[in-house]
Amino acid sequence: MSHPEITAENVTQLFPDVVQPLHPSNDPSTATPVAELAGADEEQTRLMNEMCIIVDDDENEIGMASKAECHLLKNINRGLVHRAFSVLLFDSQNRLLLQRRASEKVTWPDYWTNTCCSHPLAIPGETGADFHTAMQGARRAARRKLDHELGIKLTDEQAQSELKFMTRMQYGCAFEDGVWGENEVTYIFLLPLDTALNINENEIRDYKYLSREEFAAMYRDTSQPFTPWFKHMVREFLPDWWAALEQGELERCMNDPKHYRF
């Protein structure tokens, strides 16, 4: 769909609920109420009021808006883009940890997806005006959400050494209800880790560790729904990364600075 280029100069004119300048603020009470959240789970509504980072086509930070505003299809169709992250956790048997999103989730409830996926917020340490600091901000956000969703507690040192940056991808998609969608630049991390889990049931309905063969069989099963962002990862990256991990050659796949667009 054709739309004007979104810039720091015009973003607040095109999207009045975008806030400039970007500043550390994560008080959900500052977010403009979104009518489309009426009737949604209380905790998920609170999380949808968190402030995400708005970026332009070159991924420069140009403002912030609530998670709800970022995921409304009416805004996505007009070009609003935000920053995100995804984590793929593998245990020492090279099994991938998948989660099934909780029924309470506003977008893609009950869909299978990668280990953890969410957003850097407009809070200290998670913003980034250039590629390196944006990647570090996404890594800190991943550390925060791994604890929130799965009870995985990483020290800052562990997050720096064990959350392996792989690449970033930009994609857009619409949810089946015609109200919500995605349009985000996602920083992807691979986490080789054996860990105990403490599942947040408001976030995750089910989870499982799968070998490459088990995952392939599950992925072929058309009765199993998978999120669109995970499908992009499966199609574009996962086979090569999984093979490299099994072969002890993961470093050859890491730190790809390219901005993939799907």
Q: Which of 74, 93, 85, 73 is nearest to 186 (CA)?
A: 85
The mean pLDDT of 83-107, rounded to a whole number, is 98
Residue 173 a catalytic site member? no
Given a contact cutoff of 8 angstroms between Cβ atoms, the answer to whether 163 and 154 are in contact is yes
Tens digit of pLDDT for each residue in 212-233? Answer: 999 999 999 999 999 999 999 9
More confident residue, 71 or 25: 71
Catalytic residue among 52, 70, 116, 117: 117
pLDDT of 175: 94
Given a contact cutoff of 8 angstroms between Cβ atoms, the answer to whether 115 and 99 are in contact is yes
pLDDT of 67: 96
Residue 43 a catalytic site member? no
Tens digit of pLDDT for each residue in 177-201? Answer: 999 999 999 999 999 999 999 999 9
Q: Which of 14, 26, 87 is nearest to 52 (CA)?
A: 26
What tokens were used for 178?
């015609």
Tens digit of pLDDT for each residue in 121-148? Answer: 999 999 999 999 999 999 999 999 999 9
pLDDT of 27: 58
Given a contact cutoff of 8 angstroms between Cβ atoms, the answer to whether 212 and 245 are in contact is no
Question: What integer best gives the mean pLDDT of the chain?
Answer: 94
User: Which residues are CB-contacts of 16 (< 8 A; sequence separation ≥ 6)?
Assistant: none
CB pairs under 8 A, 24+ apart, for 138-146? 138/83, 138/84, 138/85, 138/187, 138/189, 139/85, 139/163, 139/165, 139/187, 139/189, 141/85, 142/85, 142/87, 142/116, 142/118, 142/189, 145/85, 145/116, 145/118, 146/87, 146/115, 146/116, 146/191
pLDDT range class, residue 4, cuts 50, 70, 90? confident
pLDDT of 118: 97
pLDDT of 147: 98
User: What topology does CATH give the domain 11-261?
Assistant: Nucleoside Triphosphate Pyrophosphohydrolase (3.90.79)
pLDDT surpassing 90 at residue 29: no
Catalytic residue among 36, 59, 69, 184: 184
Domain-by-domain residue ranges, the chain?
A: 11-261
At 175, is the secondary structure helix, strand, or coil? coil
pLDDT of 150: 98
Q: Which of 233, 243, 253, 251 is nearest to 186 (CA)?
A: 233
